[in-house]
Chains A and B, each alone.
Chain A
Amino acid sequence: MIDANNNIRNSQQTRPVSVEWLRQVYFSNPEQILTLNIGDILFNEGSSNTRLFFVLEGRLVGYVNNEDGTAYQVFNCSAGQFVGLMSFFSGSFLAGSTVYAIEPTRVAYIENTQTVAFHESARSLFDQFLPAVIENIAYRREQERKVAREKDRAIRNLVETEKRASLGQLAAGIAHELNNAIAVLDRNASWLMNEISVLVEDYDDILKECFRVGITTGRSLSSSQARKKAAQLVSELGMDNHMANKFGETDLDVEIIKRLKQGNKRELPAELQNKALRLWGVGETLYSTKIAARHATHVVKSVRVLGSTNSERSSGESIRETIEEALLLLSNALREVNVKTEFVDIAPITCNTGEMVQVWVNIIKNACESLVSTKTPNPTIWIRCWDDSSNVYVSIKDNGPGIPLDLQKTIFHPNVSTKALGLSFGLGLGLSICERIVASYNGEISLQSEFGSTVFTVRLSK
């Protein structure tokens, strides 16, 4: 009916049924109370259950079994809560889960033959328990959602791990395939260097010198330096543009070029110059081939780390050499950065040099990229190496803007996606690999970073 204020009111009083009322009325019979010890099963999933339970004290959990034998928890309830509402009120009287006690527990119950007690606002058992039933349904739904979310997260993690694992395997497989071919290239390059050096012995001293310069220093002039040198050759030696450009690119001394220009007893200047350029070119190309082969070898070696679990270590290795190797591999990237090294004489150690080089390359490359991408003025990397009785230490410092605190915590976590485009193999497989390698030497990598100073310190036990 509608009252004076236009509100709808039940004909009965609207005092709701409370849990306390239910407990008093239905769950106070001492003959209908069960005591459970920890682990005691109240009922099994799928068995018949005609009772509705109320927890007086303690704690019960309900589990449902999956087809694959695993089980997941559907509820966890303590004093003041009901168990068996669904089976009782749906009329199925079949237990939906296996319920057992995880604390000493006392439960009271009513049978499905229970007669209903009088309550002004609810006349049937169902009406009286309805609020409890609804709350129960909502609770169960939330539990199921939680389980679903966790499963989802677990699956995503698994996919991610599998992806990484299979990428690692793929990479290791490719590396394995390439390994032989690259070994051949590398050895052939070395052999050719030696053999051609012998062949060149027959040439005139000045031509031998051109070859030696090429094979020792390669092509060190930048394009702008080459242009300046060419201009110098034109103005100082009166060379024609064409030849000046060609000689400008080389590392050959102006003195040598002057002598070539004069020719010698056997050859005209033009012929001599062309021979000289050819010999320098052959030397330089052998040098660059050797570097490329070495680079490829390192890529293969480092990628194989992804697939393998152990790697051979040799004794008497020099950490300093591994750092220098790393610097050589990164020489292109380091062109724009000052590198200062400070090596104290340290005893040789037992290690896998490839792994060591990997670690330095990773850290130095990160430092270099941080400096270049942020256009740090006077970009500099300092590398120090020292030891004590039990450890070897290497510190790599850069004067870049630093690594933000929150990133510092996760920086050693594996991350498949790298900076630029796709995976950059060989030159930087991530700090997580570094950490793994260093850990395998019973060492550690520590990081201290603030604006203007970022220091990675690697400690390796001897």
Chain B
Amino acid sequence: MQPIILCVDDQRDVLVALKRDLEPLEDKFEIVTSESASEACELLEDFDSQGRFVALAICDHIMPGKNGVRMLSELANDGRFSGMRKLLLTGLASHQDTIEAINSAKIDCYVEKPWKQDDLMSHIKRLLTHAILDAGLVHAKFAPHMDAKIVIERMRNKF
């Protein structure tokens, strides 16, 4: 089964735009969208029980109910998803929120809205490469979505 990229945003329009930008990845990854943190957490439970690997979560911050940083902080402490990379995609995070995002949620990347597709995709490529390598999967299977430089760097460090 394909590794999953989970997108979370309460605005449907944003999810649609994001999914369209991620379309090139659809041959090797399953893109899953969710409109709230609680829905996303339920999905993650399902994925875990099905043994599916979630490589990346792309999360908005300001959402009704649980906000993005809080959700990612909870996940940071959940050993089952330690291999999952976390990208915060938001236009409305305060300075304090950002500090919390880095320190408690241990996000791997922060992208401001509105985002540029190629900018976002290069970040995603980087994060997916790390996630795939960490999970011990065969990176070659996921070409051309892997970042070659990172692959080489990590191979070198292994020896």
Contacts and interface: CB of A to CB of B under 8 A. Distances in A.
B140 interface: no
A332 B11 contact: yes
A14 interface: no
A372 interface: yes
Interface stretch (A37-45, A218-226, A378-386): A218-226
Interface stretch (B32-40, B70-78, B120-128, B142-150): B32-40
Contact of B64 (A223, A226, A336): A336
B93 to A, nearest CB: 9
Contacts of A332: 11-12
Given A332-B11, A336-B64, A421-B94, A223 B16 contact: no
Nearest to B19: A249
Contact of A223 (B13, B26, B35, B92): B35
B15 interface: yes
Contacts of B13: 288, 292
Contacts of A242: 26
Interface string A221-245: 0111010000000000000001000
B33 A223 contact: yes
Contact of A222 (B35, B62, B64, B92): B35
B94 A223 contact: no
A335 to B, nearest CB: 9
A346 to B, nearest CB: 34
Interface residues of B, number: 14
Given A219-B12, A288-B13, A332-B11, A224 B92 contact: no
Contacts of A222: 12, 35
Nearest to A373: B64
A223 B15 contact: yes
Contacts of A372: 64
A224 B32 CA distance: 10
B39 A223 contact: yes
Given A336-B64, A372-B64, A421 B12 contact: no
A288 B14 CA distance: 11
Nearest to A372: B64
Nearest to B10: A332
Interface string A307-338: 00000000000000000000000001000100
Nearest to B91: A421
A293 B92 CA distance: 22
Contacts of B34: 223-224
A332 B33 CA distance: 17
A219 B64 contact: no
B11 A219 contact: no
Contacts of B26: 242
A332 B34 CA distance: 15
Nearest to A284: B16
Interface string A268-298: 0000000000000000000010001000000
Contacts of B92: 421
B88 to A, nearest CB: 16
Nearest to A218: B12
Contacts of B62: 420-421
B146 to A, nearest CB: 21
A219 B16 contact: yes
A332 B94 CA distance: 24
Nearest to B46: A227
B91 to A, nearest CB: 10
Nearest to B94: A421
A222 B13 CA distance: 11
Contacts of B35: 222-224
Interface in A127-182: none
The 3 closest A-B pairs by CB, nearest first: A223-B33, A223-B35, A223-B34
Interface of B: 11-13, 15-16, 26, 33-35, 39, 62, 64, 92, 94
26 contacts: A219-B12, A219-B16, A222-B12, A222-B35, A223-B12, A223-B15, A223-B33, A223-B34, A223-B35, A223-B39, A224-B34, A224-B35, A224-B39, A226-B33, A242-B26, A288-B13, A288-B16, A292-B13, A332-B11, A332-B12, A336-B64, A372-B64, A420-B62, A421-B62, A421-B92, A421-B94
